[in-house]
Copies of this chain bind each other. A is one copy, B any other.
């Protein structure tokens, strides 16, 4: 460890803004989904990823990677969604270890019903608070961050 590399006031402000925004936005989105749709945000995200995947199915580990969460977390949430009939499990042909999470018809229906309210929450919590230029700049910056962190896990 060499000299500590402190953050200047601008860098610190950016970090604090990032932290605060993460919490505030995450909180609002989770509340909306929970109260109006009876879904947690992780659950909703799973439904989205499944709906967009070919065959509406994704392997458990790939789901964990995409959602940036733990494997056990995915096991837990898929269990919940399965009990609710929104998702089912399918063993993976050609790999006895593998498990596909598959979106059910009910799951797709649930997603369709939940989407408008969720998107409205995303708008009011983030999108509509920014000018088009700000939004684009935000997107660019965060994409750079994600590119930087995606490789070095």
Binding site for B on A (CB under 8 A): 1, 4-7, 10-11, 13-15, 17-28, 45, 67-69, 115-117, 119-120, 122-123, 125-127, 129-130, 134-150
Contacts and interface: CB of A to CB of B under 8 A. Distances in A.
A127 B7 CA distance: 9
Contacts of A22: 22, 25-26
A-B residue pairs, 3 tightest by C-beta? A4-B116, A137-B137, A23-B68
Contact of A5 (B14, B15, B119, B146): B119
B129 A15 contact: no
7 contacts: A4-B119, A17-B142, A18-B142, A20-B142, A21-B149, A24-B145, A135-B141
